[in-house]
Amino acid sequence: MKTVEYIASAEEYRNALGALKKDEVFKRHQKLLAAHYSMPEHKATSAELALVCRMHSGSSVDGTYVHLGSRIYDRLPSHAQDRIVSKKNWKIQVLCHWEASGYGTSVWTLRAEVVEALEQLGWVQNTTDHNQTPQSEQGNVRSILPTTDQIIPVELYVKALSQIHDEMNSRELSVIKAHYEVFGQQATAGQLSNYTGLGQDYRAVNRVYGMLARRINSITGAKVDTRADGSEKHIEGIISTRGLDQEGHALLRMKPTFAEALGVVGLVDVDGLEGAAEDNIDMSSGSTTRLALSQARVGQGRYRQSLLEVWDGRCSVTGVSDTRLLYASHIKPWKNSTDVERLDKFNGLLLTPTLDAAFDKGLISFMDSGKIAISNYSKGDLMKLGIHGTMCIADVQVEHHNYLKYHREHVFQG
C-alpha cells in the first residue's frame, strides 16, 4: 500500500478552509469538493470528476483544484507549507494525493484530514461509509449517478475501442477526429456534419455516433435511457447531449473519460504533445503497436505534470511561475529516447517559449552545474531575445547530468 505523505491536521485544514473569504470560495470549488467526497473512498480521476460536475474536461478540474489549493496553501501553518515546498509538490496535492492507474491515468484521493475538515465545517454530509462501497456499486459502471451521467472508467473505453478499432469505418473516424481535434470535444451535429462532408442533414452525425456507441456500450456495459417509442439512446454511452449553443442547437459533448480513452488508443492527437512525438508515430502500424505508442503519448501529457512537481511549477531557468507560459521540454529529444527515458522526470526542463525554442534547436544548452552555454552562431539574436550568459538552471540534480551531456554532445551547435 502506498504511503501518503502527511501535510497538515484536520484542524489546520478546517482553519484554512474557514479563513477563506466569501469571494475566494466559488460554487465550483464547493461543488467539486462535494462531488469528490461523494465518490467511493473519496477517489476519482479528473475526467470522472469533470463528468459529475458538468465541467468541460479533466483539465478544468485540475485548474479548479490548483486555484483552490493555492489559497489553502497560503493559509496553512508554515510547517505544513514546508512539507509541500520541500518535496516540490504540485499545488493540487495540498488537498489530494494521487496514484497512477492503468492506461496513463491518475487517480486523485481527497486527503483524510481534508475529508474530516469538510465534515466538521458542514460543507459535506457523511451519510454513508465511503470505505465500504456496496458490491452492487463496484461493477463496470459507477452507479452513484443517474443513468445518463454514469461514469465509465477510461480503461473500459480503451478496452472497447481496442476491440472495435479495426472495424470502425471512415465516417466514424472522421467524426471523432473532428469532434476532438477541431471543435475541442464540443460541437453541434450540424457543425460536425458540415465539417466532415456528411451533408446538411445533422441526423447523419447522430446515426454515426449511435451505431458506434451501440457497439461500445455492449462492451462497457453502459446503461442508457429509452425514448418514448421504446428505442434506446445509445449515443449517451459516449456523448452528453445536454446543453444548447447560442443559436439553440443541441450540443454534443464527448464524455471526458471517453475523450481520454481516444487519446490512449491513438484515434486523436492529444493536446500538448511535442512535434517530434507525432512525427515518430506511424498510424498505419498494428493495433498493438499503436496502443503502446499512444500510451507513451498520453504519458507525455502527464509528463508536464511531473515536471511541474520537480520544478515547483516554475521555469527551470527564469523562475516564471505562470504555467500557461511554460513548456515541458525534453533534454534528450523524444525521438532519440527510449520509452523509459521519455517518461523520466529528470529528462525534462520547464522552460518559457523563447528558451524552449532555443534549447530545442540546439542554440543553447546547459552544463552539469546549470550554467548556460550559448551557441556562437546566434549569440547576437539570442541576446536580443533576453537570453544571456549569466542564466543558469536553478537546481540541477545528479540524475539530470547524463541527459544534459547528451544534449551538449548531440543537439547543441556549439
Structure letter (DSSP) for residue 45: E
Q: What is the pLDDT of residue 337?
A: 82
pLDDT of 389: 92
Give the Cβ contact number of residue 24 at 10 Å: 14
Q: What's the angle, vertex CA 24, arms to CA 22 and CA 29, rounded to 5? A: 100
Residue 401 φ then ψ, to 5°: -60, -50
pLDDT value of residue 294? 43
Q: What is the mean pLDDT of the chain?
A: 78
Amino acid at 224: V
Q: Which pLDDT score, from 0 to 100, does residue 398 have?
A: 94
Residue 90 burial by Cβ neighbours in a 10 Å radius (0-12, 13-18, 19+): buried
How confident is the model over 19-78, as pLDDT tens digits?
Answer: 876 655 667 788 889 889 888 888 888 777 877 777 766 777 877 888 888 888 888 888
Distance CA 4, CA 54 (A): 29
Highest-scoring range by mean pLDDT, 2-11, 212-221, 292-301:
212-221
- Rank 2-11, 55-64, 72-81, 228-237 by mean pLDDT and report only the highest: 72-81
Q: What is the DSSP letter of 179?
A: I
Sequential DSSP letters for 275-297: HHHHHH--TTS-HHHHHHHHHHH
Q: Which residue has the higher pLDDT, 368 or 139?
A: 368
Distance, in Å, from the CA atom of 258 to the CA atom of 158, rounded to the nearest integer, reads 8
C-alpha 56/C-alpha 37 separation (Å) is 20
Res 231: pLDDT: 67
pLDDT at 270: 64
Per-residue pLDDT tens over the stretch 346-365: 999 999 989 988 998 899 99
Reference 80, options 67, 93, 61, 63; nearest CA is 93
Can you tell me whether residue 156 is helix, strand or coil?
A: helix
pLDDT for 114 equals 93
β-bridge pairing 327-330 and 348-351: antiparallel
- CB of 258 closer than 8 Å to CB of 51: no
d(CA 337, CA 280): 11
3 by Cβ neighbours in 10 Å (0-12 / 13-18 / 19+) ranks as exposed
Q: Name the pairing type of β-strands 186-188 and 105-110.
A: unpaired
What is the CB neighbour count within 10 angstroms for residue 365?
Answer: 23
Greater model confidence, 219 or 129:
219
- For residue 106, the SS3 value is strand
C-alpha grid cell for residue 120?
Answer: 466538521
Q: Which residue has the higher pLDDT, 282 or 215?
A: 215
Q: DSSP of 64-78, one letter per residue?
A: HHHHHHHHHHHHS-H
Show the beta-strand stretches assigned E in 131-232.
186-188
Contact 207, 233 (CB under 8 A): no
pLDDT tens string 96-146: 887 765 555 678 899 999 999 998 888 887 655 444 433 333 333 333 344
| CB of 310 closer than 8 Å to CB of 349 | no
- At 200 the pLDDT is 75
In angstroms, the first-to-last Cα distance of the chain is: 48
What residue spans of 97-142 are helical by DSSP H? 112-121
pLDDT value for 392: 95
Distance CA 254, CA 248 (A): 19
Name the DSSP letter for residue 92: G
Average of per-residue pLDDT across 375-379: 84
136 CB burial (10 A radius; 0-12, 13-18, 19+): exposed
C-alpha cell at 400: 539530470
Query: 176-179 — which CB contacts under 8 Å span 24+ positions?
Result: 176/212, 176/262, 176/267, 176/268, 177/267, 177/268, 179/252, 179/254
Indicate the DSSP class of residue 181: I
Question: Do the beta carbons of residue 252 and residue 233 sit within 8 Å?
Answer: no
The answer to whether 336 and 363 are in contact (CB under 8 A) is no
Each residue's pLDDT tens digit, 267-285:
886 643 333 333 344 433 3
Q: Answer left, alpha or beta for residue 271, where phi above 0 means left and psi between -120 and 50 means alpha.
A: beta
| pLDDT value for 32 | 87
What is the average per-residue pLDDT within 367-394? 91
Q: Which of 279, 269, 263, 290 is nearest to 336 (CA)?
A: 279
Predicted pLDDT at 88: 45
